[in-house]
Amino acid sequence: MKPKITLKDIARELEVSISTVSKALKNSEEISRDTKDKIQAFAKLYNYKPNNIAVSLKNRRTKNIGVIIPDIVHHFFTTVIRGIEKYANAKGYNVLVCVSNEGYEREVINMELLANGSIDGFIMSLSTETQQKNDYNHIKEVTDQGIPMVMFDRVTDRINCDKVVIDDAQGAFLAVKKFVESGKKKIALITTDDYLSVGKDRTEGYKKALSHYNIPLEESLILKLPSMEVEASAFDTFFKTQEVDAVLCVNEIFAIHAMRLVHGMNKRIPEDISFIGFTDGLLSKFAMPSLTAIAQHGELMGEEAARMLIEKVETENEEETFSTTVLEPTLIERASTL
């Protein structure tokens, strides 16, 4: 209906040259008041806005930042995106979100797509499958091209770039500390397989804390699930065979599920069994009883990642110096602990 108006259109209409229009709209001193007024009025009337694509082509800067996350229906990742958006928008950047859906293939495809000029830099968190395959060539290619990259939460040592993570071991430590201080002795851990970097760190923190408090480590008190999916039977047999008085869960869902199960076994929460879950999301707040949680500070993480990325994007600096920001987790105490 009202096709977009260009510099050329204005120039033709006002019978001046394209460059005059361009300068006038940038309020250049070279142009006379008269013509500037005329051109600016006309531009406003027809609501002229420069074409981003053309500007990008010219500047070799898109003002877009690409975000690759494993899953968008996941509270933690959405809070990170919110943080990224917040900071990026304030700096005049758009956020291009792509979801790998926890798959290697989609991660590669999405990155290749965006890397071909659509974005000025990446912020990403690795998909489960990528971590399993342990194959990071697609990421190496991107960084080798000189495209700035910031990884968050699920990171790898194999790539040299800026990173922002939570001290997951410390989070687990905090949880165990809380349990110990409220008199718990048989502290269980429900987690996933070790290929997830976060799972590994949390397990480590759990073990370290036990040894710190002189509690013998019993491998039978660690339940390792092969994936993020809840396997009811595994939970069932675990709680039927093990005697525990405190449970640390690697995510909310595991914790909620376990609490329900325990509730059905006529045990009291938190008196008989206490619970703490990682990732302070909606479920923790609204669970019955509400769940004591280790907050991951996703929004802060997003802001920090965006800050680091934009810093790199906007400095011509050729020196390759990378840093890793480690955020401290926080224990949010609720009704599932004493």
Partner DNA sequence: TTGTACGCGTTATCAC
Partner DNA sequence: GTGATAACGCGTACAA
Residues at the site binding DNA, with contacts judged by CB under 7 A: 4, 6-8, 15-20, 22-23, 25-26, 28, 30-32, 34-36, 48, 50-51, 54-55, 57-58, 60
**Residue 31 site contact among a second copy, DNA, none (CB < 5 to 8 Å, cut-off depends on kind):** DNA
Stretch that binds a second copy, among 114-122, 176-184, 207-215, 236-244 (CB under 8 A): 114-122
Q: Which does 334 bind (CB under 5 to 8 A by kind): a second copy, DNA, none?
A: none
Among 31, 114, 190, 246, binds a second copy (CB under 8 A): 114
Cβ proximity to a second copy: between 173 and 254 the closer is: 254
Q: How far apart are CA 337 and CA 249, in angstroms?
A: 13
* Footprint (CB under 8 A) of a second copy, residues 116-135: 116-118
Is the Cβ of residue 45 or residue 53 nearer to a second copy in the bound state?
53
Residue 8, binding choice from DNA, a second copy, none, Cβ under 5 to 8 Å by partner class = DNA
CB of 214 to a second copy, least distance (A): 36
91 binds a second copy (CB under 8 A): no
Helix ranges, 287-329 (H): 298-314
| Rounded (10°) angle between helices 7-14 and 18-25 | 110
The alpha carbon dihedral of 26, 32, 33, 38 has a sign of: negative
Q: Does 51 bind a second copy (CB under 8 A)?
A: yes
Nearest residue to 131 via CA among 195, 68, 69: 195
| Position among 13, 30, 105, 112 found at the interface with a second copy (CB under 8 A) | 112
How buried is residue 56: exposed, middle or buried, by Cβ count under 10 Å (0-12/13-18/19+)?
A: middle
Instruction: Give which of DNA, a second copy, none residue 332 binds (C-beta under 5 to 8 Å, depending on kind).
Output: none
**Minimum distance of a second copy from residue 199's CB (angstroms):** 21
Among the listed residues 20, 62, 127, 131, the single contact to a second copy using CB under 8 A: 62
The CA distances from residue 252 to 244, 289, 320, in Å, are 19, 13, 38
Say if CB 154 and CB 200 are below 8 A apart.
no
- Pairing of β 246-249 and β 94-99: unpaired
Give bridge partners of residue 223 from the DSSP assignment. Answer: 190
Q: Which of the residues 219 through 238 are near a second copy (CB under 8 A)?
A: none
Which entry of DNA, a second copy, none binds 26, CB below 5 to 8 A by partner kind?
DNA
Q: Are strands 330-332 and 292-295 parallel, antiparallel or unpaired?
A: antiparallel
Nearest in space to 43 (alpha carbons), one of 9, 93, 69: 9
Q: Which does 25 bind (CB under 5 to 8 A by kind): a second copy, DNA, none?
A: DNA
Secondary structure class of 9 (helix, strand, coil): helix
3-class DSSP state of 66:
strand
Kindly state whether residue 144 participates in binding a second copy, applying the rule CB under 8 A: yes
What is the CB neighbour count within 10 angstroms for residue 290? 15
Residues contributing to the site for a second copy (CB under 8 A): 1-4, 47, 49-54, 56-57, 62, 64, 72-75, 78-79, 81-82, 85, 89, 94-99, 106, 109-110, 112-118, 141, 143-146, 253, 256-257, 260, 263, 282-283, 286-288
